[in-house]
Amino acid sequence: MKNSKLKSALVLLLTLCIIAGSCVVAAIGIGKRHSGSAKNIQQGLDLKGGVSITFEIKNDEFTKKEFNDTIRKLQMRVDAFSTESLVYKEGDNRICVDVPGQTDAKTVLDDLGKPGSLYFVTDVTSEYKEGESDYEVHKVKGSDGKETIYRIWLDGNDIADAKGNVQADKDTQKKEYVVNLEMTKEGTKKFADATRENLNKPIGILYDDELVSNPTVNSVITEGSAVIEGQESLDEAEHLASTIRIGSLSLELKEMSHRVVSAKLGSDALAKSMKAGAIGIAIVIIFMLFVYRLPGLVAGLCLTAYTALILLVLNAYNLTLSLSGIAGIILSIGMAVDANVIIYARIREEIAAGRDVGASIELGFKKAASAILDGNITTIIAAFVLMWKGSGTIKGFAQTLAIGIALSMFTSLVVARILVKALYNLGLKAPGLYGKEKTRKVFDFVSKRGICIALSVIVVGVGVAFMAINANKGEGPFYFSIEFKGGQSTTVEFNKDYTVDEFNDKIKPAVAKAIGSDDVQGQKEVNSNSYVIKTSELTDEKFDAMKKTLKDEFGAIDSDDNFDDTFISATVGDEMRKDAVVATVLATICMLIYIWFRFKDLKFALSAVTALVHDVLVVIAFYAISRTIVGTTFIACILTIVGYSINATIVIFDRIRENLTLNTEKNIDYKAIVNKSITQTLTRSIYTSLTTFVTIAMIYVMGVNSIREFALPMMVGIICGAYSSVCITGSLWYMMKTGGKKDDPKKVTTKKETTKEVVKEA
């Protein structure tokens, strides 16, 4: 007994030390550079700012397809810096690249490479005859005036990818630095011809008329992949790979300007969000202590551990945190709390059933595991699909969500188990320490399904009506932001150095009033009094009104070259919208398949997905009715609600599955089982929704305006997700299971059937 207590005490002490150490590192870091500190997490343009580079197209003529293709390829390039990087059109022939978290534009340009022309060539100066040779050539005049003629075998569009790498030499096994090339389908054919005709001869890589590499062909290459050997270092290999990648753009670009810009949301946007989140989590911990007592204390420790661990992981992997990333963290926090609620509710059910506390702890974790794993795995499948098919902010959301879910499962199923068992073994065995059980009367949710479905139809219908009315008025079905519809960018220099917070608090509202639109963004140029002000496309009248306001009220300099304005395209372009839709549809299909596989019943899967679509439609209706701005956070908000909704539904379906297994009657009363299952999990639904709602409500109250635009629809989504999981999903499954037949009055349970479920004591 003494050995058991000593072992438990040591385990408890070690676990607490690890949690405390993680918190200290996340808060202040290690050493002079504060390594691991939350302050060192790379932040997005909205939270910290970065580098903005403007390129101009050198080609005299180009198609819309070539322009869009160049933007898409550039986006792929800058994703190497951060998934939150933005590439968008400015004016008729310019492309802007915004890279978050960077302060040195030269470093970005050096790493990115300067986009230009790229050819794979051989020197045919001595043999080429004008008008007789039947192949395409490129002529280069050297500094000495001599002309070199190159035959073009491939150009940049034939290269799919290029990466610097390290491999072992086949003969000596020594480390060598190489560039791995991947060709397009067309490029594969061209490269096979080139290597066949130039075996044991060099094929040069000509970039912006400069021969950057001249490797020798050692074999005929037909499979579409090749290796360029002979690089002196990994840096050299990566630089050549970067040159090849950036040179494969459809159009030739030249750099026009670059500047360092400040955070869109203000210098303290992240600090305010973190403070609000910390207060929300503290309230959740106090609530858990009050309701679950000793397990509530464990839940608080696990939530603290989770928060510290996710900050450390974001730091370790140098992931970029933006508003969409915060959305992923919020969802995973909700799921972490949910897991604890499910476990501790199960423990109290077992204690109420007459089992001793030790056995109840074992059974509680065991019975809760299936619901927790199914809910989390379903969501993590969606996260991986979004990482695979998504881009930009979608990928950022998916990354933080996947990490958050993995950590929430670890803290709830591993850390919580260690702590609870250690405390029990130390003598904390009184049932009262684990909270009191209350008997709850079964409510007939299924019979009320008509009212619930009608209410949902009305809400969605009102949303559709608002969309139609607003569209008919010429205002559009939604209040789309600049990110979605494009707009106008105006560079304004002031005679005073306004901070970003001053801009957001004073200048931004004044501009919004002058142009009659709340969709105003501002980015300060670092070490300058200038701001880049982005608005919807303005008429001459509204533009003049904005100029007058800025000059009269805020001291904007009145000169000919001030107020330089140009059109900018949507940063959430057609490609990203398509990616978002495709990724969401694929994620939904994958979730459907997983639920079908796990529950062995397609009706469960169809019911869950139907409820999921319902929640999305209700939130979209809210956007239409309230005219909340639809910006980049809209996608993250919808994806968060999808994850939250599916998790809430699976908890109820898991209990229905269990009750069906425990059923011993010959004729199964599906209605009674559904009602009983929803009632048994009702407290979990209320508590999880309440705790997640409180966390987001704090962010809404204490955050900056742009964060409020994200938090408000999220709160609506949480309420809607809780409502649909309790009032709709079970009833949908029942209707499918019984073929939509009318309820048999003889089968309606009239006795005072009760189930044991934990609820907050009055």
Task: Classify domain 118-248 by CATH architecture.
Answer: 2-Layer Sandwich (3.30)
Distance of alpha carbon 716 from alpha carbon 619, whole angstroms: 7
Closest to 325 in 3D by CA, of 707, 648, 713: 707
Write the CA distances from 240 to 167, 168, 397, integer angstroms: 16, 19, 31
Among 110-124, 194-208, 668-682, 739-753, name the one with the lowest average pLDDT.
Answer: 739-753
Q: Reduced to 3 states, what is the DSSP secondary structure of residue 217? A: coil
Distance of alpha carbon 334 from alpha carbon 339, whole angstroms: 9
User: What are the φ/ψ torsions at residue 103 (nearest 5 degrees)?
Assistant: -125, -5
Amino acid letter, residue 99: V
Please name the residues in contact with 635: beta carbons below 8 A apart, sequence gap of 6 or more: 324, 393, 394, 397, 572, 580
Count of CB atoms situated within 10 Å of the CB of 760: 13
Task: Classify domain 442-463+573-742 by CATH architecture.
Answer: Up-down Bundle (1.20)
Per residue in 525-536, pLDDT (tens digit) is: 877 888 989 898
Please name the residues in contact with 578: beta carbons below 8 A apart, sequence gap of 6 or more: none
Distance of alpha carbon 511 from alpha carbon 521, whole angstroms: 10
> Which pLDDT band holds residue 265 (cuts at 50, 70, 90)?
low
Q: Reduced to 3 states, what is the DSSP secondary structure of residue 480? A: strand
The answer to whether the CB of 549 falls within 8 A of the CB of 466 is no
Structure pTM? 0.71
Count of CB atoms situated within 10 Å of the CB of 21: 11
Distance of alpha carbon 372 from alpha carbon 332, whole angstroms: 12
What is the C-alpha end-to-end distance of the chain, expressed in Å?
39
Q: Using alpha carbons only, how large is the chain's radius of gyration in Å?
A: 30
What pLDDT was estimated at residue 115?
Answer: 60
Distance of alpha carbon 586 from alpha carbon 580, whole angstroms: 10
Is residue 752 scored above 60 in pLDDT?
A: no
The answer to whether the CB of 629 falls within 8 A of the CB of 519 is yes
Estimate the crossing angle of helix 705-724 against helix 632-662, to 10 degrees: 20
% of the chain surpassing 90 pLDDT: 27
Consecutive H or E run containing 585: helix 574-599
Residue 372 or 398, more confident: 372
DSSP secondary structure code for residue 30 in this structure = B
Average pLDDT over residues 185-206: 92
Considering only the C-alpha atoms of the chain, give the largest distance between any 2 of them, rounded to a whole number of Å.
Answer: 102
Among 25-34, 471-480, 712-721, name the one with the lowest average pLDDT.
Answer: 25-34
N residues, the chain: 762
Among 78-82, 148-152, 245-249, 369-373, name the one with the lowest average pLDDT.
Answer: 245-249
Residue 710 or 247, more confident: 710
Closest to 514 in 3D by CA, of 485, 490, 483, 479: 490
The answer to whether the CB of 734 falls within 8 A of the CB of 312 is no
The answer to whether the CB of 279 falls within 8 A of the CB of 271 is no
Average pLDDT over residues 673-695: 88
The answer to whether the CB of 488 falls within 8 A of the CB of 536 is yes
Q: Reduced to 3 states, what is the DSSP secondary structure of residue 627? A: coil
What pLDDT was estimated at residue 269?
Answer: 66
Residue 125 or 435, more confident: 125
Distance of alpha carbon 549 from alpha carbon 546, whole angstroms: 5
What pLDDT was estimated at residue 648?
Answer: 83
Tokens 């202590």 belong to residue: 289
What pLDDT was estimated at residue 735?
Answer: 93
Distance of alpha carbon 286 from alpha carbon 281, whole angstroms: 9
Consecutive H or E run containing 41: none
Q: Work out whether the CA dihedral 702, 704, 707, 708 comes out positive or negative.
A: positive
Residue 454 or 437, more confident: 454
Is residue 140 scored above 70 in pLDDT?
A: yes
Average pLDDT over residues 316-341: 78
Is residue 515 scored above 80 in pLDDT?
A: yes
> Which pLDDT band holds residue 80 (cuts at 50, 70, 90)?
low
* Two structure tokens written together for 432: 């009262």
Average pLDDT over residues 603-632: 90
CA 552 remoteness from chain centre: 41
Closest to 712 in 3D by CA, of 648, 625, 650: 625
% of the chain surpassing 70 pLDDT: 91
- Strands 175-183 and 159-168 come out as antiparallel
Among 217-231, 667-681, 704-718, name the one with the lowest average pLDDT.
Answer: 704-718
Is residue 2 scored above 70 in pLDDT?
A: no
> Which pLDDT band holds residue 199 (cuts at 50, 70, 90)?
very high
Is residue 389 scored above 80 in pLDDT?
A: no
Query: What's the whole-number average pLDDT of the chain?
Result: 83
Distance of alpha carbon 97 from alpha carbon 75, whole angstroms: 8
What pLDDT was estimated at residue 750?
Answer: 36
Residue 230 or 690, more confident: 690
What pLDDT was estimated at residue 432?
Answer: 87
Is residue 362 scored above 80 in pLDDT?
A: yes
Q: Reduced to 3 states, what is the DSSP secondary structure of residue 516? A: coil
Residue 576 or 604, more confident: 604
Closest to 305 in 3D by CA, of 685, 23, 689, 658: 23
Average pLDDT over residues 226-250: 77
Closest to 539 in 3D by CA, of 490, 488, 493: 488
CA 127 remoteness from chain centre: 56
Is residue 468 scored above 80 in pLDDT?
A: yes
Write the CA distances from 586 to 80, 387, 405, 580, 593, integer angstroms: 25, 12, 19, 10, 11
* Two structure tokens written together for 215: 């490797």
What pLDDT was estimated at residue 230?
Answer: 78
What pLDDT was estimated at residue 423?
Answer: 93
Q: Where are the beta strands (DSSP E) in 536-653?
A: 564-568, 629-630
Is residue 44 scored above 60 in pLDDT?
A: yes
Distance of alpha carbon 613 from alpha carbon 606, whole angstroms: 11
What pLDDT was estimated at residue 482?
Answer: 81
Please name the residues in contact with 510: beta carbons below 8 A apart, sequence gap of 6 or more: 549, 550, 553, 554
> Which pLDDT band holds residue 745 (cuts at 50, 70, 90)?
very low
Task: Give the sheet arrangement for strand 253-262, strand by strand.
Answer: 253-262, 49-57, 94-100, 86-90, 564-568, 487-493, 530-535, 521-524
Task: Report the helix count and the strand count for the chain, using DSSP H and E.
Answer: 23, 20
Q: Which fold has domain 487-568?
A: Alpha-Beta Plaits (3.30.70)
